């Protein structure tokens, strides 16, 4: 028995690694999987390229873009250098903090609370997607804030936003009050699970139903645990209403509506025989140009389907958080130099405040000056340095305890061979050769 189980697991793993991309529409159609994979690459690149120089995305879409990117490609964030990750996460945090503070100072804008909570839900989801703690956001426990908002009577009439709020809690495994779950089941009309306040516009109706379905799938364990019996019946009814909305061309409305429907039906694991997944996906693939599905907002909402994900898929994605390298890498550790290695020996000279110190350093051929400094500091207690990463690479902050001094315009400069021959690059871009002398001079720029 054990052996068979192992064999099955082995097969599953093998199948996963062989098959590129997710099992879109069940995965049986490799042409479709390939096409989706291509559009996914285009879309992720397109949306990532819309990030502003300040780290935000246009038209208040920072949180939506980050969430969409991570759901479409969970390796998007980890694929960036620490400086870029920092820019993205701090922009997200900064925007949310502005938002929370404006709430606090403007009192209690009840009229907008529902929408505000939906927005808070989007921020919480985006944070979880890039491994920022929701539980301790500058001493705010956002899940507590959210639960409080959800418990208020008559806060929500918009179940699109409401679903985002529920999703932000269940994605982080946070407890949701029974009353809030019941509200999601009841919707706008208890007797008609598919009714929404936007009945006039069928497309909008499917948008809301799709979000409700994603939220219900995500929160299902909690709902069953809390004894909400109608859960699965209402869920099936809503799934069926979405399926009934599919047109002959495979769409469910516009591109956003169609993608939300595909995401919801995928989340609910609706049987492939009950709806036409391939046509829906093919329709969606025609709705983009070079990965752009009609702007930042719509592309952000649409692209999770390209990775078979939905707004309730974050629990699986957040598992990659533990693999994330630390925000700022510590100094690299050079390999030990063995006898017979191809090495380079050169001199480092340090001039500051009238003192001159000289050191000899040996590095492996091909290593840069930064590695030379690390090797020297490891071997010689008289030499120390501090450096920090920047967008331009590692730069020197202090040598032998003497720091840059911006007040007095004193900065460390690098010279090769003799004073005045300024090095054209930083310590990571300089590759010493035998018998060269690298001179660090604390230089007065005032
Ligand atoms: C597989 O996908 C291709 C490309 O999208 C499509 O033309 C074809 O009809 C699909 N085949 C089936 C059996 O669905
Ligand atoms: C959430 O709960 C599920 C089920 O109890 C568990 O398998 C999963 O690891 C939890 N995820 C997190 C992020 O805590």
Region of poorest pLDDT, from 17-21, 193-197, 199-203, 308-312: 17-21
| CATH 2.170.130.30 domain span(s) along the chain | 343-444
Q: What is the pLDDT of residue 98?
A: 85
Q: What is the pLDDT of residue 103?
A: 73
CB-ligand 1 contact for 32 (6 Å cutoff)? yes
CB-ligand 1 contact for 282 (6 Å cutoff)? yes
Q: Is 254 annotated as a binding residue?
A: yes
Q: What is the pLDDT of residue 388?
A: 81
pLDDT digits 0-9 by tens, 321-371: 766 655 555 678 888 999 999 999 999 999 998 899 999 999 999 999 999
**Contact by Cβ (8 Å): 282, 32:** yes
* Residue nearest atom 2 of ligand 2, based on CA coordinates: 173
Q: What is the pLDDT of residue 2?
A: 36
Q: What is the pLDDT of residue 54?
A: 95
* Residue nearest atom 9 of ligand 1, based on CA coordinates: 278
**Contact by Cβ (8 Å): 415, 441:** yes
| Ligand of minimum distance to the alpha carbon of 171 | 2
CB-ligand 2 contact for 175 (6 Å cutoff)? no
CA dist., res. 292 & res. 44, Å (int):
9
How far is C-alpha 36 from the chain's CA centre?
A: 21
| Ligand of minimum distance to the alpha carbon of 170 | 2
CA dist., res. 441 & res. 423, Å (int):
12
Nearest to 310 by CA among 22, 14, 42, 43: 22
CB-ligand 2 contact for 128 (6 Å cutoff)? no
CB-ligand 1 contact for 400 (6 Å cutoff)? no
**Maximum average pLDDT range among 16-25, 117-126, 147-156:** 117-126
Q: Residue 339 has which token pair?
A: 């006898």
| Cα end-to-end span (Å), the chain | 78
Q: What is the pLDDT of residue 322?
A: 67
Q: What is the pLDDT of residue 394?
A: 82
Is 389's pLDDT higher than 80?
A: no
Q: Using CB atoms within 10 A of its CB, is residue 52 exposed (0-12), middle (13-18) or buried (19+)?
A: exposed
**To test the ligand 2 pocket, which listed residue (127, 129, 143, 173) has its Cβ within 8 A of the most ligand atoms?**
173
Q: Which residue has the higher pLDDT, 298 or 424?
A: 298
Residue 420 has what DSSP assignment?
A: T
Cα–ligand 1 centroid distance for 446 (angstroms): 70
Angle of helix 202-218 versus helix 178-186 axis, rounded to 10: 150
Instruction: Tell if the pTM clears 0.85, that is, is over it.
Output: no
Is 10's pLDDT higher than 80?
A: no
Q: How many CB atoms lie within 10 A of CB 158?
A: 18
Which residues 6+ apart lie within 8 Å of 72 measured at CB?
Answer: 40, 43, 44, 47, 303, 304, 306, 307, 309
Q: Using CB atoms within 10 A of its CB, is residue 182 exposed (0-12), middle (13-18) or buried (19+)?
A: middle
**Contact by Cβ (8 Å): 387, 370:** yes
Angle of helix 255-267 versus helix 277-285 axis, rounded to 10: 140
Ligand 2 atom closest to the CA of 319, numbered from 1: 13
Query: How much is the average pLDDT of 3-19?
Result: 37
User: DSSP assignment of 98-146, as one string?
Assistant: HHHHHHHHT---HHHHHHHHHHHHHHHHHHHHTT--STTBTTB-HHHHH
CA neighbours closer than 13 Å in the CB half-sphere of residue 387 = 24
Query: How much is the average pLDDT of 112-141?
Result: 85
Is 298's pLDDT higher than 60?
A: yes
CA dist., res. 135 & res. 145, Å (int):
10
Per-residue exposure over 306-331, b if at least 16 CB sit within 10 Å of its own CB, e if not? bbbbbbbbbeebbeeeeeeeeeeeee
| CATH 1.50.10.20 domain span(s) along the chain | 24-323
| Ligand of minimum distance to the alpha carbon of 277 | 1
Query: How much is the average pLDDT of 226-237?
Result: 96
DSSP H or E segment with residue 316: helix 314-317
**Contact by Cβ (8 Å): 144, 172:** no
Q: What is the pLDDT of residue 196?
A: 82
**Contact by Cβ (8 Å): 402, 374:** no
Q: 343-444 adopts what CATH topology?
A: Ferric Hydroxamate Uptake Protein; Chain A, domain 1 (2.170.130)
Q: Strands 385-390 and 355-364: what pairing?
A: unpaired
Ligand 2 atom closest to the CA of 318, numbered from 1: 13
At residue 154, the 3 state secondary structure works out as coil
**CATH 1.50.10.20 corresponds to the domain 24-323:** yes
Q: What is the pLDDT of residue 200?
A: 56
């Amino acid at each position: 028995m054990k052996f068979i189980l192992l064999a099955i697991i082995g097969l599953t793993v093998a199948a996963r690694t062989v098959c590129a991309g997710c099992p879109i529409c069940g995965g049986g159609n490799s042409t479709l999987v390939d096409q989706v994979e291509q559009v996914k690459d285009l879309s992720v690149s397109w949306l990532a390229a819309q990030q502003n120089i300040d780290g935000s995305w246009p038209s208040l879409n920072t949180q939506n873009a980050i969430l969409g990117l991570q759901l479409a490609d969970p390796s998007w964030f980890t694929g960036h250098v620490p400086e870029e990750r920092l820019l993205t996460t701090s922009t997200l945090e900064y925007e949310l903090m502005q938002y929370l503070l404006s709430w606090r100072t403007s009192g209690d804008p009840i009229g907008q609370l529902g929408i505000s909570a939906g927005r808070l839900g989007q921020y919480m989801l985006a944070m979880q997607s890039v491994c920022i703690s929701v539980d301790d956001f500058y001493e705010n426990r956002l899940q507590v804030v959210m639960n409080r908002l959800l418990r208020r009577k008559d806060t929500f009439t918009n179940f699109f936003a409401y679903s985002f709020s529920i999703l932000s809690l269940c994605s982080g495994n946070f407890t949701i009050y029974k009353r809030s779950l019941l509200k999601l089941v009841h919707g706008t009309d208890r007797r008609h699970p598919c009714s929404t306040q936007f009945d006039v516009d069928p497309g909008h109706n499917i948008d809301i139903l799709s979000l409700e379905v994603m939220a219900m799938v995500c929160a299902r364990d909690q709902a069953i645990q809390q004894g909400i019996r109608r859960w699965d019946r209402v869920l099936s009814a809503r799934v069926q209403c979405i399926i009934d909305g599919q047109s002959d061309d495979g769409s469910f409305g516009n591109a956003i509506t169609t993608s939300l429907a595909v995401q919801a039906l995928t989340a609910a694991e609706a049987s492939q025989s009950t709806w036409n997944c391939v046509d829906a996906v093919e329709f969606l693939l025609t709705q983009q140009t070079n990965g752009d599905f009609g702007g930042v907002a719509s592309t952000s909402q649409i692209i999770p389907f390209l990775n078979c994900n939905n707004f309730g898929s974050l629990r699986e994605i957040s598992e990659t958080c533990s693999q994330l390298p630390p925000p700022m890498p510590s100094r690299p550790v050079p390999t030990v130099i063995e006898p017979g290695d191809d090495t380079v020996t050169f001199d480092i000279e340090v001039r500051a405040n009238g003192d001159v110190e000289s050191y000899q350093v040996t590095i492996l051929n091909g290593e840069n000056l930064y590695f030379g400094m690390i090797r020297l500091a490891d071997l010689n207690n008289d030499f120390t340095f501090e450096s920090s990463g920047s967008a331009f690479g590692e730069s020197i902050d202090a040598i032998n305890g003497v720091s840059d001094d911006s007040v007095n315009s004193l900065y460390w400069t690098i010279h090769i061979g003799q004073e005045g021959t300024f090095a054209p690059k930083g310590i990571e871009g300089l590759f010493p050769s035998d018998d060269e002398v690298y001179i660090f001079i604390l230089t007065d720029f005032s």
